[in-house]
Amino acid sequence: MSWLVTGTGAVASIGSDTDEIYESLVAGRSGLAGLRGYDRSKFRAQVAYEIDDRPAPGVDEPLRATRWLERAVEVAAREAGLGDDLSSVPVLVGTTLRELRSVELSWRDGTPVEVADLHFGTMLRRRFGAADTHTVANACSASLYALALATDLLDLGQADTVVVAGVDTISESTYGLLDRCYPEAPDRVRPFDRARRGMLQGEGAVAVVLRREADGPGPGATVRARVRGVAVNCDAYHPSAPEAKNIAAAVREAHRRAGVGSADIDLVMLHGTGTPLNDEAESAALGSVFAGVEPSPYMTAIKSMTGHTAGASGLHSLVAAVDVMRRGSVPPIVGLDDPVESVAGFRLVRGQAVRPDEELRIAQIDSFGFGGLNAVAIVERYAGDDAYAGHGAAAGHDAHAGHDTYAGDDAGAGHDTYAGDEAHAGHDTYAGDDADGGNGVVAGQEEGR
């Protein structure tokens, strides 16, 4: 089973739509700036990746996350030919903080906020007539968890179209909490660099429209990509620290569901938060999964420019991957000047964007959250998309030619029902997977350093 992406919409600190975000990523433009909405004297860190849409410097306002979500859903739905009527379309929203910043402003400053407006479903019903809305609060992997749930709904015939979204804003309390977690205040997000100091938050929203491939894209829609498989697990290994073995298990399960092998992956969108524990666990997991694959897939980490957009980050990386495969340039990891030893074998994009001669067809998107919430998606460039015109496949890439047959794609048959909003039990069985046969990195890829 596979699913078509027929619409995308996004906003982040580096752009107000998917085109502007892609162009910023390829240019290496970062959204990092001085804190705009808070009293800087209260924090060691002084910067973040905020969306600059407040009415005035130092003045904050409620419901910014809801506003971004509305914009992302509107654009994605319009691209998919749905217009403004989502009355028969489930909408799944992944988030970490929801409208916590609005609660802070209401409690501390007395800013008027209606309690009903703290739930995204209120806006979705009012703006789009959406009657079936769900919020998935699975930390920083929330939007890819929502994507997995959407594939279940489609597989089970409970919907023919699903809108999947992610959104998060920075709250003052969360910024303060993270400000006290690191020995030194982070100055930027530096994934896999020896000078990394930790994670900094970003803001944004993102939405995609998903349909069963067997049903076609629907009237007025253009297919942007194909989702081949999504895998999730929750190992509860530690409240905040990731565990390499179970990240590797999620990656392997995503490959199995997609009917691909590690050698088929052309691009990896790394979770890449710039924290020592994430960098070590992700690099160990990928070193295991891609051991023997030479050269390794191209790898990049967009949080180096967007910051960590939390519940939106997985889908932000997915939408970026779709545009990378369609348009051909892979963004760099900004600030990666001195890579840690554990990524020595990876083909990391550094310095500036690269435009490979070979066609990029299959992308892996990593998204990991506190509590051992791991999610991995496999996305394929849609064969009918001519945005990649002029990029012939390089020798050795013929292995991808048969991907449209989806042999073995019945692996998705273990998805459980969505009843009661607590389903997807079929996606959480990998915590005990000990297939991680070692944590070595891929050898011989010094050019990736």
Output the CA–CA distances (angstroms, integers) from residue 4 to 91, 108, 151, 255, in the order listed.
16, 45, 10, 18
308, 314, 316, 321 alpha-carbon torsion, rounded to 10°? 120
**In this predicted structure, what is the pLDDT of residue 236?**
86
Question: For the chain, how long is the longest CA-to-CA vector?
Answer: 64
At 351-384, the pLDDT tens digits run 999 999 999 999 999 999 988 899 999 999 997 7
Residues of the chain with pLDDT under 70: 385-449
Candidates 349, 281, 356; CA nearest to 325 is 356
> For position 385, what pLDDT does the model report?
56
Paired tokens of 223 = 């297919």
Question: Which residues, other chains included, contact 103 with Cβ-Cβ below 8 Å and sequence gap of 6+?
Answer: 113, 118
CB 336 within 8 A of CB 191: yes
Annotate 198-237 with b (16+ C-beta within 10 A) or e (fewer).
bbbbbbbbbbbbbbbbeeebbeebebbbbbbbbbbbbbeb
147: three-class secondary structure by DSSP: helix
Q: Quick one: which of 260, 258, 295 has its CA closest to 396?
A: 295
> Rounded CA gap, 249 and 154, in Å?
24
Taking the whole predicted model, whether its pTM rises above 0.95 is answered as no
End-to-end CA distance of the chain: 37
User: Residue 193's closest CA among 43, 322, 348?
Assistant: 348
